[in-house]
Chains A and B, each alone.
Chain A
Amino acid sequence: MSAIAIKNNQQIPVSSIPLVDYHNFLIFNTSLLKLEENHCVNYFGIPKNNTIQLFCCVANDNNQNILISSSIIDKDKPYPSFSEQHVAFEKFEREIHENFGINYTNHPWLKPVRYAYDRQNKSNTITNYPFFKIDSEELHEVGVGPIHAGIIEPGHFRFLCNGEQILHLEIQLGYQHRGIEKLFLNKKRLVERNTLAENIAGDSVIGHTTAFVNLWESLCKFEPSDDILLSRIIALELERIAVHTGDLSGMCTDIAYQLGSSVFGRLRTPIINFFQQWCGNRLGKSLVRVGNNNFPFTNELRTKLIAVLDKFEPDFDEMCKETFHAPTVLGRLEKTGIITNQLGKEIGLVGMAARMTNINRDIRSSHPFGYYTSLAHQPILKEHGDVQSRGQIRREEVKQSINYIRNLLNNIPLKQKEVTTNLQLTPSSFAISLIEGWRGEICHCAITDEKGELIHYKIKDPSFHNWLAVAMSVRNNEISDFPIGNKSFDLSYCGHDL
């Protein structure tokens, strides 16, 4: 047996994960990805003396299984790469290379990922990134960032253009690296770790924090109450509504469609203000906590939320109808920034960016937790893979989330505040937690030692998979379409850089 099959939010003894030699490890995992139903949700290494223990987690979209396999390799020897067989592994292997200096004999693009402070090769710095170059009299380079024109996070984009047309885009990240994964180990108090999880990515506060608390509770063998689970799902879906609506505003801004920009922008306000009414923070920081609900979802809140949604929905519908029928809008969105279904599968896209090109991938349906099981979620799929599809998906997912919240509010009894303390981590364990955030699949993994101390914490934001799609989607587009193309993906810099 090459792997152990586990479910989402399950913890297992580390010793139960089969150790195979690297050759079989490679064949096993790369053959898994030959089937479309499988994709790699996490792949990382842990240093041990002069060796690295690799863990590969491949999720199956059909049978709720996640296959965990492991192999130990030497630091000093070169190895054949997974990426040669399947591009979806390329970022993971670059990360392993950057962190530990593992050399791959046939990796197609072995470049730095985020310039982590504890990287192996300190002579690689963010100022000497090896950009792809083409020598030509006709072509020119355009560099954008790290600081962008708007109020957003930093990252560098380097375009190779033929006139107005983009031939190639390379995206260099790492400016936001804060050393979060190591801080999870160094900070020993639960409240510190909970706070760290909230600060991984400010637009996915609920997503990342829920992944963290689900993981932590499974490592402590703690079963959260119905009320806690309900609160998390309502919060997740509210976050999806808020960010999708804000993104529709941003997309309208980028094509200078003033009405949509203002109206979607202001429609986001009542949703995030509801978070403030619920927990005192507009983005939901402080709401999600391990083992307790500091801010129970009361009947009063239920009434307020229904009123907020009742007011929101007609205005949202009206604005969507106008936006997606306006020729000035459609002319900019349709056939811009296309990712084909085939390319999407090769890259291993996740989340909204996968569904816009007809890849049926959604953790809410494939690996559901809590009430998602009873919602029997049907992912919304689009076929064209262009900016228009990414806009339409947002529109329809907002509507779907509103329906889910209404359903949940109708049926579930609400309870009182509960506080659980003294949770202990199970020693020598491995656990994995998957969440479908608004952007896509968030994956957290943790491993404990024999004393029950955390020895490894691994975070994967959906952006880690999807940045490559931004670079590919702009090829042969006009460079003036880059802002709208980029915004339509709206990927995270800090979630990637950690």
Chain B
Amino acid sequence: MLENIKILFHQGKQYIPDLRTVEAPGVFRGRPIINLESVDNEALKEICPTHAISANPVQIDLGKCTFCGECALAFPNKIKFTKDYKIATNSLEGLIVKEGEDKLITLNADLVRAEIQKYFKNSLKLRQVSAGGDGSCEMELGACSNVNFDMGRYGIEFVASPRHADGIVITGPITENMAKPLQTAYEAIPQPKIVILCGVDAISGGIFVDSPAINRSFLKTLKIDLYVPGNPIHPLTFINGVLDLIGKK
């Protein structure tokens, strides 16, 4: 018993007190800023593995971006990745970062359904389904509930059964072989329910977008409530995005 208490004592304080304002350690690549300097646009577009960069005006689609940082390494004056991890939003347009703009990424309040904040503000149970995800976003979603991030403090938890869930969190590009089980899980969740796409693969297909082994038709039938960019997503991005969605301060 004494040994156990000693271990507990040795861990010190592990939880992050304020998940809304904590600074991400190291060289975290979050929201990019693109300045107006003119560069060889073709070369810039060519450097991106997932065609997330387009020209005239130069812009990055965070739904396609793997945050590998190759563009910022090759054109350090043109593109900089800030440590701003609040990059989740609820519209595809909101994921586009244009040159010459340095504005925060926020949710479009008009697109948030009224019942979401009414029912889920103080308790939100989510069912996660990996549909071809490589396990990285899944690990980071798991980390959201560990002692460091402790998402449970807000009443947000992952549950085993879709019947107990208020929403679905999808990772992976959605493989043909997983399309049907994903749909079954979604349908098993009672109404009203929310849909969250986590990671570049889920949002746009990522590097797998043109693979004949994926089938994203199910997504076209859904209204997506939250897009969480990243490869993988950072727990802080996910937690802040969900808090904004359910209207928690």
Contact = CB atoms under 8 A, between A and B. Distances in A.
Interface string B12-30: 0010000000001111110
Contact of B68 (A152, A189, A195): A195
Interface stretch (B93-101, B207-215, B239-247): B207-215
A266 B147 contact: yes
Interface in B205-249: 206-208, 210-214, 231-232, 234
Interface string A313-324: 011001100100
Q: Tell me which of B3, B148, B178 has the highest count of chain A C-beta atoms within 10 A of its own C-beta.
A: B178
Q: Tell me which of A116, A183, A187, A199 has the highest count of chain B C-beta atoms within 10 A of its own C-beta.
A: A199
Interface string A248-270: 00000000000100110110010
Nearest to B146: A265
Q: Tell me which of B6, B130, B214 has the highest count of chain A C-beta atoms within 10 A of its own C-beta.
A: B130
Contact of A191 (B49, B147, B212): B49
B134 interface: yes
Contact of A154 (B6, B178, B213): B178
B54 to A, nearest CB: 17
Interface residues of B, number: 69
A179 interface: yes
Chain A to chain B: the 5 pairs with minimum beta-carbon distance, closest first: A202-B136, A277-B26, A179-B213, A202-B135, A149-B160
Contacts of B180: 127
Contacts of A203: 135-136, 139
B137 interface: yes
Contacts of B59: none
Given A153-B138, A195-B207, A278-B27, 17 more contacts: A150-B158, A150-B160, A152-B135, A175-B132, A177-B132, A177-B213, A183-B208, A191-B47, A191-B48, A259-B7, A276-B25, A279-B27, A283-B232, A285-B232, A286-B66, A294-B73, A494-B134
A196 B142 CA distance: 23
Interface in A134-185: 146-147, 149-154, 174-180, 182-183
Interface in A77-133: 115-118, 126-127
B4 interface: yes
A115 B29 CA distance: 36
Contacts of B48: 191
Contacts of B161: 149
Given A176-B175, A196-B207, A280 B67 contact: yes
A334 to B, nearest CB: 21
B141 A151 contact: yes
B217 to A, nearest CB: 15
B140 interface: yes
A7 interface: no
Contacts of B192: none
Contacts of B135: 152-153, 201-203, 492-494
A175 B215 CA distance: 12
Contacts of B27: 276-280
Interface in B29-52: 29, 46-50
Nearest to A202: B136
A276 B129 contact: no
A202 B232 contact: yes
Interface of A: 115-118, 126-127, 146-147, 149-154, 174-180, 182-183, 186-187, 189, 191-192, 194-196, 199-203, 205, 246, 259, 262-263, 265-266, 269, 273-274, 276-283, 285-286, 294, 314-315, 318-319, 322, 492-494, 497
A492 B135 CA distance: 9
Q: Tell me which of B3, B28, B177 has the highest count of chain A C-beta atoms within 10 A of its own C-beta.
A: B177
Contact of B132 (A149, A176, A189, A492): A176
Contact of B146 (A194, A266, A315): A266
A476 B6 CA distance: 39
Contacts of B187: none
Contact of A286 (B24, B68, B138, B141): B68
B128 interface: yes
B176 interface: yes
A494 B146 contact: no
B197 interface: no
Nearest to B234: A282
B56 interface: no
A181 to B, nearest CB: 10
A193 to B, nearest CB: 9
Contacts of A281: 29, 67, 231
Contact of A322 (B3, B29, B49, B208): B3
A117 B212 contact: yes
Contacts of A127: 180
Contacts of A263: 7, 11
Given A176-B178, A280-B67, A201 B49 contact: no
Given A202-B139, A492-B135, A126 B177 contact: yes
Q: Tell me which of B27, B29, B136 has the highest count of chain A C-beta atoms within 10 A of its own C-beta.
A: B136
A175 B177 contact: yes
Interface string B156-172: 00101100000000001
A319 B207 CA distance: 40
Contacts of A262: 146-147
B70 interface: yes
Contacts of B211: 117, 178-180, 182-183
Contacts of B148: 266, 269
Nearest to A318: B7
